[in-house]
Amino acid sequence: MAQGASVSPNNLEAFWMPFTANRQFKANPRLLAGAKDMHYTSADGRRILDGTAGLWCVNAGHCRTRIVEAVARQVAEMDYAPAFQMGHPKSFELAARLAAMLPGDLDHVFFTNSGSEAVDTALKIALAYHRVRGEGGRTRLIGRERGYHGVGFGGISVGGIVSNRKMFGPMLAGVDHLPHTHDLARNAFTRGEPEHGAERADELERLVALHDASTIAAVIVEPVAGSTGVLVPPRGYLRRLREICDQHGILLIFDEVITGFGRLGSSFATEHFGVQPDMITVAKGISNGTVPMGAVFVRKGIYDAFMTGPEQVIELFHGYTYSAHPLACAASLATLDIYQEEGLFARARELSPYWENAVHSLKGTRNVIDIRNIGLVAGIELEPRPGAAGGRAYDALVKCFERGLLIRTTADIIALSPPLIVEKSHIDEMVDKLGGVLKEVA
């Protein structure tokens, strides 16, 4: 540190903030200091209604006593345990509980510390799986435009967000992309799954014809694209992707980092849409955001394909120091208890019609060009200011925060995804506050 530089907590300089306009933020910071259930407390002591479950992760609400106590007990009992060639009971218990929540033969779990790591892990498992089966030529990975799969090199390669890609060189070789499914002209103001666009899955046939199936390892998509603005899949789209993958021996990976753990009103999107992928990546809601954790759920046939060589040989050369970290496992087990005992996924499903009506009541509000929703998520798209994309939504975020509501924005799309403990009165408050703000934002 430079001599004489301040180390007071008020010095915001040293922290290079992620995905943030650092200079803009530091000139006018928004600091959170506490949280309980549906609310944050700002550093200046105001209550902020959490319209976004943190960053789509605090599905059971904030600082839930059961989770806090489970983590506190765990840190006192055993802070850390090596993850390689050693184990601890909670990791096995957690994997078994997660496997029991999943449909079909998605019954093995690889633990990571984030969604980005889960995505990179799934992509690596896909490549290695084909190789152990003697199809090592299948190295191509297919993502989708407007996909977000975290920020590892694998994730940005299959991801489809230009700002996340353009600075970082060639990334992974041999990646191609499906077109995104967003279609304002045909689907604006759809409630739930849009009617138009399933045929965009057929683009996978085109990529297979171009590259040949024998070169393609896997397709990865978010069942509902979250970060790029709540893009709900057109009716029949995911089923069609599954069919084409099956025809050509291509693995299908659902990135459920956002859609997992009740966001859509079911445990996972795979259940909601009745389409089973070969792997699922999760994070966020797995531990209610309390301790970082991610995971990949893998079908039995994939796991089994690795369990064929000599038993003393490591089957997959992959893992993290903190895979299945004891604190994360303790947090996740307590989180799953809450989800189950409070029936939070069913609660999300039951509330979703109320949610849908509430958010769609903003139709006709100044600059609103689309509203879309599914489960307890909504996207509200604003007409961008000419030559200043993102400005309108950012102004709305600042004003909402001033008035005690946390929203999330991406370009000119506002995303709402409250904790699943949300009450109708909170939903009303969110829509009132946001509607009031939108009327004011020029």
Among 222, 278, 370, 395, binds ligand PXG (CB under 6 A): 222
CB of 107 to ligand PXG, least distance (A): 22
Told to check if 359 binds ligand PXG by CB under 6 A, we report no
Binding to ligand PXG in span 99-128, by CB under 6 A:
114-116, 119
- Closer residue to ligand PXG, CB minimum distance, 125 or 208: 125
Structure tokens of 357?
């009506």
Residue 150 sits in the site that holds ligand PXG (CB under 6 A) = yes
> Closer CB to ligand PXG, residue 208 or residue 222?
222
- Which of 55, 68, 99, 171 binds ligand PXG (CB under 6 A)? It is 55
Of 90 and 408, nearer to ligand PXG (C-beta) is 408
- Give the residue closest to ligand PXG by C-beta: 115
d(CA 182, CA 222): 13
Applying CB under 6 A, which of residues 54, 154, 160, 226 lies at the interface with ligand PXG?
226
- HEC readout, 128-143: HHHHHCCCCCCCEEEE
Q: List, in sequence order, the alpha helices (H) in 191-268.
A: 203-211, 237-248
Residue whose CB is less far from ligand PXG, 208 or 265: 265
Contact in structure between 259 and 268 (CB atoms under 8 Å): yes
| Closest separation in Å from C-beta 347 to ligand PXG | 22
Calpha distance 297→256 (Å, rounded): 10
Among 255, 278, 356, 370, binds ligand PXG (CB under 6 A): 255
Q: Closer to ligand PXG by CB, 148 or 345: give it.
A: 148
279 within 8 A of 108, measured Cβ to Cβ: no
Q: How many residues bind ligand PXG (CB under 6 A)?
A: 18
What's the min distance (Å) between Cβ of 115 and ligand PXG?
A: 2
- Whichever of 116 and 332 has its CB closer to ligand PXG, that residue is 116
Give 159 or 234: the residue with its C-beta nearer to ligand PXG.
159
Contacts to ligand PXG from residues 394-423, by CB under 6 A: 408, 410
CB 73 within 8 A of CB 330: yes
Q: Are 398 and 437 contacting, i.e. CB atoms less than 8 angstroms apart? A: no
Beta strand 408-410 with 405-406: parallel, antiparallel or unpaired?
Answer: unpaired
- Which of these, 389, 313, 328, 378, lies nearest to 109 by C-alpha position? 328
H/E segment holding residue 346: helix 344-360
- Helical H runs in 63-114? 65-77, 89-101
CB-based contacts of 240: which residues, under 8 Å, 6+ apart?
Answer: 198, 201, 202
Strand pairing class (106-112; 294-299)? antiparallel
Q: How far is the CB of 11 from ligand PXG (least distance, A)?
A: 25
Rounded to whole angstroms, how far apart are CA atoms 413 and 393?
A: 6
Instruction: State the minimum distance, in angstroms, from the CB of residue 55 to ligand PXG.
Output: 4
Please report, for residues 255, 270, 355, the alpha-carbon distance to residue 118 in angstroms, rounded to integers and kept in the order given.
9, 17, 30
Is the distance from CB of 141 to CB of 204 less than 8 angstroms? no
Task: Give the single-character DSSP code of 313.
Answer: S
Q: Which is nearer to ligand PXG, 158 or 427 (CB)?
A: 158
Q: Which of 91, 121, 181, 227 binds ligand PXG (CB under 6 A)?
A: 227
Q: Which window, 100-108, 144-152, 184-192, 198-206, contacts ligand PXG (CB under 6 A)?
A: 144-152
> Angle at the Cα of 311 (from 310 to 315), degrees rounded to 5?
85
- Binding pattern for the stretch 269-288 against ligand PXG, x by CB under 6 A and - elsewhere: --------------x-----
164 or 361, CB closer to ligand PXG?
164
User: Footprint of ligand PXG on this chain (CB under 6 A)?
Assistant: 55-56, 114-116, 119, 148-150, 222, 226-227, 255, 257-258, 283, 408, 410
